[in-house]
A and B are shown apart, each in its own frame.
Chain A
């Protein structure tokens, strides 16, 4: 990608991060930490990678995205709003009674959401079903599913991965957000899921390891996913990230897994993001 394209993505990622803060602040609840760690990935998926049409969210031949780590809905919603699926002004209504922005993704209320998720471990299986369906229908549709590293402790993730490899779903791109933290603390202390790469390789995936905050690396990972078509192997992109990325007081803190910023914290965070934008616009 050109430097202008990269800058454009970086600026969009700032808007997505602002959306995450605005929505969780408005909700007085929600999960900013894991939303922020995946903000660059949400941005890249919806602004460069996936074939989608915000004007026609249910377009049959679109690529699909399943947020298996459904609690990071604020990140997905912010990306969808920035992409034009619904007004950004709706974000502060997250989790409010009567809002279509449910605490976890609801495919029947939120335009652009392809699968209802929230109960960890289940999204990847649904994504595998979509990928299998696309193959069966002989359609060139890619399916992407984002998992959390804490979520990898769910046995069903490995059932789904085994299924994907068995049915040669090379149109399935598994993305694991390795931010190293979960609710109860460091993933290595709560339930060690490492070595993640060896596990996905053993389960029959083609593994790509990247820095999840570097758009050049994200781009090259998806190039490998596309080059991998025809191999019969699903791709697993393992992205090292920082939980809470972009908001200094949230970075690498498990406490910000599922807590909303108060007014003061919100103002501080928005100021930091404004500074990040200003630095990019120089």
Chain B
């Protein structure tokens, strides 16, 4: 079996910006002294006159992006998820969300797979925070291919977008001709006993869990839900009706993220038993990304075990 290619979606972000920049003359990029880490340095190298470093001042950066957008430019603002969604929450809410400006926020280093930096930098609240802002599109890609297509789709739509990219290199499983669409989930494996709905770097783990469940005689549907808002409610309800049990998986707090978004749709339309897998109302800590993900149960083994438990097996 060939070696699986691994790419961090932050690299995809930088590469996609550079690729888009060649044809999109109105695309500008802002960073807050993290261009090397967020990978906007890739764009900066190609288009230095369109890359504005704002220094370590994320609140200002978000509002500068708002101002730029009113001049007909399409700003992509980059920093770590903790500072984009956390530090600058109110700037995003009041000066991007409320006026519904065409600002794209590309937040890298989301979740506990940030690793060694520890809890202060492991943002597990960004989906929750961004979801509460009316009109905000919130997304998290599962691999390199999806991340690059997502950046392009974000540029092509009008309105505010929040995208979370990861630090760690993760498997690339999509083919280049994958048809990504904002607001639409993707069925990766069909099944009828249980549906696993995941996003971001949890998707490859969910795929592996799906395979393991199949081998154990359990028919698991695996869904990649890259858009958290607007959620593909139809796909969620179809899964509930046809599978009757749902497991959600995200590298995010179980509070306010994908799991609760799925539960909201289910509770009002088709209540079925759900197990939410995520970070359980606690802070992260330092460690290598792979070991941390295992320690927090964000891995294929635990997903499969939880699915079995939900089925009473």
Contacts and interface: CB of A to CB of B under 8 A. Distances in A.
Interface string A48-84: 0000000000001000101000000000000000000
Closest CB pairs A-B (n = 10): A129-B67, A133-B71, A125-B63, A159-B60, A129-B64, A159-B57, A126-B67, A116-B99, A130-B67, A129-B68
A37 interface: no
B283 interface: no
Interface in B81-102: 90-91, 94-95, 98-100
- Sort chain B's interface into a size bin: 20 to 34
Interface string B51-66: 0101101011011111
Interface of B: 28, 49-50, 52, 54-55, 57, 59-60, 62-73, 75, 90-91, 94-95, 98-100
A29 interface: no
A115 B57 contact: no
Q: What's the interface size class on A, roughly?
A: 35 or more
A122 to B, nearest CB: 5
B106 to A, nearest CB: 17
A119 B94 contact: yes
A122 B94 contact: yes
Contacts, number: 108
Contacts of B49: 136
A192 interface: no
B95 A126 contact: yes
Contacts of A119: 90, 94-95
B95 A116 contact: yes
Contact of B70 (A114, A121, A156): A114
B71 A130 contact: yes
Interface centre among B49, B50, B94 (most CB of A within 10 A): B94
* Interface residue SS majority, chain B: helix
B71 A122 contact: no
11 contacts: A121-B59, A122-B94, A125-B60, A127-B67, A129-B71, A130-B71, A132-B64, A136-B49, A136-B68, A159-B59, A163-B55
Interface of A: 60, 64, 66, 106-108, 114-119, 121-123, 125-134, 136-137, 155-156, 159-160, 162-163, 166-167
Nearest to A70: B94
A160 B65 CA distance: 12
B68 A133 contact: yes
Contacts of A121: 59
A122 B98 CA distance: 13
B160 to A, nearest CB: 13
B60 A156 contact: yes
B100 A162 contact: no
A230 B246 CA distance: 63
Contacts of B60: 125, 128, 156, 159-160, 163
Nearest to A133: B71
A162 B94 contact: no
A107 B67 CA distance: 12
Best-buried of B28, B67, B70 by chain A (most CB within 10 Å): B67
B52 A132 contact: yes
Given A108-B100, A118-B94, A163 B66 contact: no
B64 A128 contact: yes
Contacts of A108: 99-100
Given A129-B67, A134-B71, A156-B63, 16 more contacts: A115-B66, A119-B94, A121-B59, A125-B95, A128-B67, A132-B64, A133-B70, A136-B50, A136-B68, A136-B71, A156-B59, A156-B91, A159-B55, A160-B60, A160-B63, A163-B57
Contacts of B98: 106, 116
